[in-house]
A and B are shown apart, each in its own frame.
Chain A
């Protein structure tokens, strides 16, 4: 079945540092890939997505590129802010689980001033 593996956290950075959160997946077919963000006490919000190989999703300074050859969708941001502190989830849709999303376990990011 489909699966998503995220780098283990938590991740702690200083403001303006570079961020990478790794995500790899296993799926058959041609899945879509997503990053969701969850701020404290809130539900998940879609951060960015990519629907086919080599697509780059981007939003709020975050980027991720759909790499089919390495089955990866790593999240990056060049300069993080305190307000980026949240839990980040990588997710996969389509593949063998059409209509359902499969989530990674989440990575907690804390950014200090």
Chain B
């Protein structure tokens, strides 16, 4: 089915470990986004990529890096995981942000 695919769905890390969250979309969208969702905080933008080859910081970028590998793929890397990064992470894509997003099903990350 067309849409946004995130891997993995669940992950447990130890403090200090690194990992990469993968995201791919097959809708030929220009823009892609990474959000984190925490209880009572709504969704907060970590990084976004308005088009292939560009990335920009969002509201909460500290502790994260991103790569827009090509038009389809946008990965999020945690270099040294901290318990404060325990969250649900969502990737989204859009042809143009003013027209709304398509979201992936999320990655539930726990850092112990």
Residues of A at the B interface (CB closer than 8 Å) are 31-32, 34, 36, 42-46, 49, 51, 89, 93-94, 97-101, 103-106
Contacts and interface: CB of A to CB of B under 8 A. Distances in A.
B69 to A, nearest CB: 20
Contacts of B50: 99
A43 B105 contact: yes
B106 to A, nearest CB: 5
Interface in B24-60: 31, 33, 35, 40-43, 45, 48, 50, 58
Contacts of A99: 31, 48, 50, 94, 96-98
Interface of B: 4, 31, 33, 35, 40-43, 45, 48, 50, 58, 90, 92, 94, 96-106
Report which residue of B4, B45, B48, B98 has the largest number of chain A beta carbons within 10 angstroms of its beta carbon.
Answer: B98
Given A42-B105, A93-B99, 14 more contacts: A32-B99, A43-B4, A43-B104, A46-B100, A49-B100, A94-B97, A100-B33, A101-B33, A101-B100, A103-B35, A105-B41, A105-B42, A106-B42, A106-B43
A102 to B, nearest CB: 8
A49 B101 CA distance: 11
A80 to B, nearest CB: 22
Nearest to B88: A43
Contacts of A45: 103
B98 A46 contact: no
Contacts of B101: 44, 46, 101
B97 A93 contact: yes
5 contacts: A44-B90, A46-B100, A98-B98, A100-B45, A100-B97
Given A99-B50, A100-B48, A103-B43, A93 B98 contact: yes
Closest 4 CB pairs of A and B: A99-B97, A43-B103, A105-B42, A103-B43
